[in-house]
Structure 1
Amino acid sequence: MGYNNLCEIGEERIRRAGEKIKSEIEAENAQLTLDSTPKKVPDIGFRVLRVDDSNYEDRRKNVGSYSQADLDFDVDITKSDRSNLDLLFEALPKFQLPYDVRINTLSGDEFDGHTVYSVDDGRLLACFEADIPESLVRAMAAFSPRPSYALVSEHSLPDSAARTNFVEIFKQSADSKTGSTKPYII
């Protein structure tokens, strides 16, 4: 039937079961009486994840073998073939978030057109774009509901001053009632 392994068979069975559930609910909704309310079609989507090595290159060296040029070169150690979602999924266990948690992609006027991921309805906000502006960091810090964590990659912030400002912006936005967001740079 064209399947290469057991996982592909399982994926197809899940797809078919989801479509069957969807079509049954739509058929029931098509035959409603005037005083009844239609059933909502449940989310039938699913994620398929694979185990892979880290998204980051191993650049461990002895302390004596580093020079200033090496330190500047080693800032971004993200492997070139990895997507922003790859980075996000690797970070989820660090924040004790399960892999099946809801992830929404936010963009538009609120974030100046940049892509920000909202994980678990805003519990974690993450942006992995290069050279994000301070206005985006401030928008993340002002996000409501207040996130527990904010995450950016090291190449998102162009220099050490921007990294310091990233942390300080979240400290300044802390509210005595809602607490503070813990900023992380990976």
Structure 2
Amino acid sequence: MLPNRPRRIIPAQQQAEEIPMGALAQGRFVTLPDGLRLHYIEAGEGEPVVFIHGSGPGASGHGNFKQNYPTFASFGYRVIVPDLPGYGASDKPETTYSLDFFVGALAGLLDALDIQRCVLVGNSLGGAIAIKLALDAPQRVSRLVLMAPGGLMEKEQYYLQMEGIQKMGAAFANGELNDAAGM
């Protein structure tokens, strides 16, 4: 049983009053041995919980988890909220942004912060990164929290199994879409 584990959900307005958001949004930087400079937010003390954001325009750790990590910090967890390489205030090197690249950067951040074992919370791309790190180094991950994680299926397999895509494909094959478009 974890000490100080949240027992109730705190509305966003109330948590913002309990912990000033501006105080937590101030970030730090760490330079990894390969020269990659990562931005991260750190707050609280206790068991480390690392929040890994998803991708997309304007994605960042704080932007993705600003309504979540303050509550965890207030309940006695050490929260780490990095900006992945290529996002937020972290470096944006010209390289291939593969899953292994992101996992290596996250492992480097954990090493730099002397985090041997932690909870990983991953959203979308962050979920895929969390899964891969857990598979590559299970001793480093105490728990996984996955929110719509990427990487569980090949994109093509996933899309082709979606009911809407199947209906659209059938309608196109039957000529229904051409008729609707006046073709």
TM > 0.5: no
- Scaled by the length of structure 1, the TM-score of the pair is 0.31
- TM score, norm. by length of structure 2: 0.32
Whichever of the two has the greater Rg, that structure is 1
Q: Which has more strand, going by share of residues? A: 2
